[in-house]
């Protein structure tokens, strides 16, 4: 075995490591065509804030085409990729995540999906890269967005919320502040893994700020979620399925009934991981508060101070990845009125 010299190891020292944890076989699996899907989705979102969606009807070629195009991008010379960065937050990023010092064993492209929001970085990425890349991204986003609408409608039905589009309309809105992320986690240096028995953290623990996230990855493991009791478990990869995450805004919209899932990604020591995530967010001016019909049905008071999505996003961008971002907006005993 070639033992890597100390200075080379120091190169990774800013990036945290973590021992791999046990593979979890209890992830709820929802068959989209199952007549019971709506109640099963509600149950999964209450217990885990996370589930796997199968039989979703999105052709595998949409996913593999984008995966190939994403890899073509990540394989171009570093100097070319750097032209699309640093992220503002959109654009190409390597190792640094967000503006407040978080780092991970990752490179990524963060793109805005709302044509009304002009991001010069997003535009530049598409101008500099073959048209086939733009069409693979757009086709994929359109398909996944449609599926996210349906998932949100099933959630509303399962929660007995009227109207059925109470949640989906927030991301269907033409001003919806959604975004899309392509992540590439290179295989982590084997020597490092061998020396420490630990894996590099690709994307540190966090919850997603938006309403819903739809994730698809290749067959490389690495995604972990945090269960209610605080244990971290590994999610077995499945390249033909989608994984749905409840985001912070949906936790608030359901007055805490759904929980936004804390998750992270560890780099694999043998294979690189590619993931693509659609984050469905509401318009910036949208007031985020528990749905009135839900509060009424349950005779509950809101657990959160009211805020707009713009306020939440602004505060999220001042935070570190692992922070409990909703904390600032929770009503504490002192300020309930
Ligand atoms: C986590 C979810 C999405 O990937 C993301 C991330 C964003 C970024 O990478 O720019 C953030 C992170 C995410 C939450 C806190 C802030 C903002 C990095 C960061 C430290 C695109 C998002 O919307 O929030």
| Residue 291 in domain | yes
| Residue 13 in domain | yes
Beta carbon of 209 within 6 Å of any ligand 1 atom: yes
**With 0-12 CB in 10 A as exposed, 13-18 as middle and 19+ as buried, what is 275?**
buried
Q: Which residue lies with its CA nearest to atom 9 of ligand 1?
A: 98
Residues 263, 225 contacting (CB under 8 angstroms)? yes
* Residue 13: pLDDT band with limits 50, 70, 90: low
Beta carbon of 182 within 6 Å of any ligand 1 atom: no
Q: How far is CA 267 from the centre of its chain?
A: 16
Ligand 1 center to 191 CA (angstroms): 30
- DSSP label at residue 325: G
Q: Which residue lies with its CA nearest to atom 18 of ligand 1?
A: 98
Q: Which of 87-91, 197-201, 219-223 has the lowest mean pLDDT?
A: 197-201
Ligand 1 center to 98 CA (angstroms): 6
Ligand 1 center to 52 CA (angstroms): 22
Q: pLDDT by residue (tens digit) across 299-323?
A: 999 999 999 999 999 999 999 999 9
User: Quick check: 10 pLDDT over 60?
Assistant: no
Which residues is 170 bridged to in the sheet? none
Ligand 1 center to 76 CA (angstroms): 25
∠ at Cα 73 (140, 129), nearest 5°? 80
Beta carbon of 177 within 6 Å of any ligand 1 atom: no
| Residue 1 in domain | no
Beta carbon of 151 within 6 Å of any ligand 1 atom: no
Q: Which residue lies with its CA nearest to atom 19 of ligand 1?
A: 98
Beta carbon of 180 within 6 Å of any ligand 1 atom: no
Q: How far is CA 281 from the centre of its chain?
A: 11
Beta carbon of 153 within 6 Å of any ligand 1 atom: no
Please give the positions annotated as active site.
273
Beta carbon of 319 within 6 Å of any ligand 1 atom: yes
- 321 CA closest ligand 1 atom index: 20
Q: pLDDT by residue (tens digit) across 208-259?
A: 999 999 999 999 999 999 999 999 999 999 999 999 999 999 999 999 999 9
User: Quick check: 5 pLDDT over 60?
Assistant: no
Q: What is the pTM of this model?
A: 0.94
Share of the chain above pLDDT 90, in %: 80
Q: Which residue lies with its CA nearest to atom 23 of ligand 1?
A: 209
Before 86, cis peptide (omega within 30)? yes
Domain of 326 in residue numbering reads as: 6-335
Number of domains present in the structure of the chain: 1
| Residue 252, domain CATH | 2.60.120.330
Question: Distance (Å, rounded) from C-alpha 328 to C-alpha 306?
Answer: 11
User: Quick check: 333 pLDDT over 70?
Assistant: no
| Residue 197 in domain | yes
Q: Tell me the CB-side half-sphere exposure of residue 85, using CA atoms within 13 A.
A: 19
Segment holding 28, helix H or strand E? none
Before 190, cis peptide (omega within 30)? no
Ligand 1 center to 229 CA (angstroms): 24
Whole-number average pLDDT of the chain: 92
- 181 CA closest ligand 1 atom index: 4
The pLDDT score that the predictor gives to residue 118 is 73
């Amino acid at each position: 075995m070639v033992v890597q010299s100390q200075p080379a190891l120091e190169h990774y020292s800013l990036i945290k490591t973590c021992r791999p944890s046990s593979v979890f076989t209890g992830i709820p699996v929802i068959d989209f065509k199952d007549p019971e899907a709506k109640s099963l989705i509600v149950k999964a979102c209450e217990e885990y804030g996370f589930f796997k969606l199968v039989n979703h009807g999105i052709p595998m070629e949409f996913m593999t085409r984008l995966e190939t195009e994403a890899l073509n991008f990540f394989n171009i010379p570093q100097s070319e990729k750097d032209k699309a960065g640093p992220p503002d937050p959109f654009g190409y990023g390597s190792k640094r995540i967000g503006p407040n010092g978080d780092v991970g064993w990752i490179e990524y492209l963060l793109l805005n999906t709302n044509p009304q929001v002009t991001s010069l970085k997003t535009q530049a990425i598409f101008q500099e890269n073959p048209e086939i890349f733009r069409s693979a991204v757009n086709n994929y986003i359109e398909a996944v967005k449609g599926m996210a609408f349906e998932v949100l409608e099933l959630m509303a039905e399962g929660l007995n919320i009227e109207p059925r589009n109470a949640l989906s309309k927030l991301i269907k809105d033409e001003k919806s502040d959604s975004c899309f992320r392509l992540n590439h986690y290179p295989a982590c240096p084997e020597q490092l893994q061998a020396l420490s028995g630990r894996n590099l953290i690709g994307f540190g623990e966090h919850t997603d700020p938006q309403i819903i996230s739809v994730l698809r990855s290749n067959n490389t493991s690495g995604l972990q979620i945090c269960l209610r009791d605080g244990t971290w478990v590994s999610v077995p990869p499945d390249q033909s399925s989608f994984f749905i995450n409840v985001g912070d805004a949906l936790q608030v919209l359901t007055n805490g009934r759904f929980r936004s899932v804390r998750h992270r990604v560890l780099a694999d020591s043998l294979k690189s991981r590619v993931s693509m995530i659609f984050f469905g967010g509401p318009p910036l001016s949208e007031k985020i508060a528990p749905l009135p019909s839900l509060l009424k049905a349950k005779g509950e008071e809101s657990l959160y101070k009211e805020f707009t999505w713009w306020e939440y996003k602004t505060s999220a961008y001042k935070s570190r990845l692992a922070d409990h971002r909703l904390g600032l907006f929770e009503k504490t005993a002192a300020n309930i009125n």
